[in-house]
Amino acid sequence: MSRHDAVISVLDGTAPLPRDRDGPVFAEPWQAQAFAMAVALRDRGVFTWDEWAAALGAEIARAQAAGDPDDGSRYYDHWLAALEQLVVAKGAADSETLRHRKAAWDRAAQATPHGAPILLENDPLSGRT
C-alpha cells in the first residue's frame, strides 16, 4: 500500500477526498505539498493518523457549521487549516512562526515573475533582520 493510499484509507468517511483511480487529485501544487507535509509529519511521529483524522474532521465540521458548501472545492483549505492547527497543538511550530512564514511566501509570490517558480528567497524581506 502506498503512502497516499494509507492516508486515504484513514480518511475514508471523513470527507470527500478529491481523487481518481490513481489516487489523490490536486488542482494546485500547494495542495500536493500540503498532502505531502501531512504524510511526512506523520512519518516523523509528530502525530498519528487517528489524530490527523480527528483534526481534519473537526476542521471540516467547523467549516460546515460556518456555511461551507461541502462540495469538495475547499477540501485542501480544510486540510491545510487542520495541519496548521495540529502542528501548533503538537508543539512542532508556533502560530507566530507559521504566520511569519505565510507572509514571507505571499511576498515571495508577489515578487516572482509570472511563470517562474516561487522561491522563499524571492521574498523582498528575506535576509533582513
Distance (Å, whole) CA 60 – CA 79: 8
Is the separation of the CB atoms in 99 and 54 below 8 Å? Answer: no
Q: Which of 11, 96, 5 is nearest to 55 (CA)?
A: 11
Is the separation of the CB atoms in 112 and 123 below 8 Å? Answer: no
DSSP-derived letter for residue 122 is G
pLDDT at 13 over 60: no
For the chain, domains (ranges, CATH) are 3-93 (1.10.472), 95-129 (no CATH)
More confident residue, 120 or 20: 120
Q: What is the dihedral of CA 3, 104, 59, 53, to 10 degrees?
A: 20
pTM across the whole model: 0.75
Mean pLDDT in residue range 109-121: 92
pLDDT at 12 over 90: no
Is the separation of the CB atoms in 74 and 16 below 8 Å? Answer: no
pLDDT the model gives residue 1: 47
What values do phi and psi take at 19, rounded to 5? -160, 165
Is the separation of the CB atoms in 46 and 90 below 8 Å? Answer: yes
74, three cell numbers: 475547499
